[in-house]
Structure 1
Amino acid sequence: MNWILIIVCIAVGIGLLLPMIQKRIVYKKLTEYLEQGKYKEFEQVLDGFWCTFSYRPFNREFMRLNAYFMQNDAKKINQQIHDLFEKIKMNDEQRSLVAKRAFYFYLEQEKYEQAKKMLDICLQHDSNQVEVETMQLMYSILGERKSEHIRDIKARLEPLKKETDAYTNPAKRVRIGVFEYLIGLQYSYLHNKKESKKYLENALQHCKGTTYEVQIQALL
């Protein structure tokens, strides 16, 4: 009887551990293929049995969306955003996560109507009010071409520039560049060429290698 109990316990343990182990193996393969730029192999694993078994539909399709972003494939990104909202069941947090990615994508594509829809989703579901306020600010400047936020953005920019790793931390450097871009853009709306050029030239330096670089160059 004891041997039967031991065998059952071992079987249950294996049954519990196997999905966890397999999930880690699948995740490692997915990560490696993304890092190597092997997107065809990435999608083969993503659509394979073990990934379908290990991950929920939202997680798989959100990983697919991230892969499309890495490929900078606007057509596939747009379709995947649509499919996520139309075909995948999502909770509020997941809807907000997708909407946030989509919002910045649509801003870059100058698709302001779609960006507004994504902003509205975040306003309804996102608990990070600071980030949502920044999104509202960006939409106001880029989508509605308003120029009333110069003072507000300068107030955010100055403390950021004084941080010790402001220009060595890539994320902070780009954030500084984006703020400078938004200020320069507003000065261009006001036809203040001198101030606009000053901020846009700084923004170009701090946003090198990002999607903002082309937009800033066009303005200059």
Structure 2
Amino acid sequence: MNMSLLAAIILISLILCAIAIPFFIRSFLWQSILKKIYKGQYDEAIQQMNAPLYTLLFTSYEKNYNILRTYMSKQDTHEITKQVEFMLSQNLNNSQAYQVASLTYFYFLDDQNVELSKKSLDIIERKGNEDEVAYDRMLYRILIEKKSEDISFVNELLSKNSDDQQQGILQYLLGLQYQYLSDVKQANYYFNKAKKNLKGTPYHKKVKESMV
């Protein structure tokens, strides 16, 4: 083997190592963080994501997005709100903004955060597909604007969905709309169906609280 060929092989090997080592460190570091999250050690996980090594190996967006996901797992409304406001104030591209909005939209609807629900919906409308946008607009009208103009649309979705929990969500949305119309009988009819289908989920309590 001549020296020039040997030098080329060594150079390629060094390049491959330079590429592979950060990848393995990233993978190891992320697995370490995930273990903390699974154990409920959220503050420790965030502290690790704010450390210099993580900042070196992950982009600023990846870091902030994963911190947001950790706050979502922790269900820390105050920190979720702060993190989303911070991220949306940055120079995100359309795909990144859509990813943040899609992750948090339902959370802000549930929390009745009008400002961030609307801001998230505006972003989803620019990037989401037609069905997603139609569904998310419907949720905004019912949960934020308290309107009852989507009864036919929700019934149509209900007729096409066989999943118990999804049916329960749709029945809950129907119950809310009839409640806005002061139709107590129809509201409770759908709330009772929703309560059965959503048993064991966070929405079970919400449905019970909505019943008259």
Structure-1-length-normalised TM-score: 0.86
Please state if 1:139 is matched with 2:130: no
1:66-123, Cα deviation, whole Å (9 max, x unpaired): 111111111111101111112x332101101212233222211212233122211211
Match of 1:45 in 2: 48
Match of 2:195 in 1: 204
1:75 to 58, 78, 86: 78
Distance (whole Å) between structure 1 residues aligned to residue 70 and residue 201 of structure 2? 17
Please state if 1:23 is matched with 2:16: no
Please state if 1:10 is matched with 2:13: yes
Match of 1:189 in 2: 180
Structural mapping, 1:119-134, within 5 Å: 119-124=121-126, 126-134=127-135
Structural mapping, 1:144-155, within 5 Å: 144-155=145-156
Say if 1:190 and 1:121 are closer, same or farther in 2 by CA, change over 3 A: same
- Contact 1:58–1:89 (CA under 8 A) maintained in structure 2: no
1:12 corresponds to which letter in structure 2? I
Say if 1:110 and 1:197 are closer, same or farther in 2 by CA, change over 3 A: same
2:122 corresponds to which letter in structure 1? D
- Contact 1:99–1:119 (CA under 8 A) maintained in structure 2: yes
Structural mapping, 1:107-118, within 5 Å: 107-118=109-120
Distance (whole Å) between structure 2 residues aligned to residue 83 and residue 15 of structure 1? 33
Structure-2-length-normalised TM-score: 0.89
1:121 corresponds to which letter in structure 2? I
Distance (whole Å) between structure 2 residues aligned to residue 9 and residue 101 of structure 1? 41
Q: What 5-or-longer segments of structure 1 have no aligned partner?
A: 168-172
1:211 CA drift (Å): 4.4
The CA RMSD measured in Å over matched residues stands at 1.8
Please state if 1:62 is matched with 2:65: yes
Say if 1:208 and 1:52 are closer, same or farther in 2 by CA, change over 3 A: farther
Distance (whole Å) between structure 1 residues aligned to residue 15 and residue 56 of structure 2? 18
How many residues matched? 208
Structural mapping, 1:78-89, within 5 Å: 78-86=81-89, 88-89=90-91
1:209 CA drift (Å): 4.8
1:134-179, Cα deviation, whole Å (9 max, x unpaired): 1100111122221121111111112212xxxx23xxxxx2x22211
Q: What 5-or-longer segments of structure 2 have no aligned partner?
A: none
1:90 corresponds to which letter in structure 2? L
SS class of match (2:69):
helix
Match of 1:170 in 2: none
1:168-212, Cα deviation, whole Å (9 max, x unpaired): xxxxx2x22211111000111112111111111222233345443
- Contact 1:150–1:183 (CA under 8 A) maintained in structure 2: yes
SS class of match (1:90):
coil
Identity among equivalent pairs (%): 25
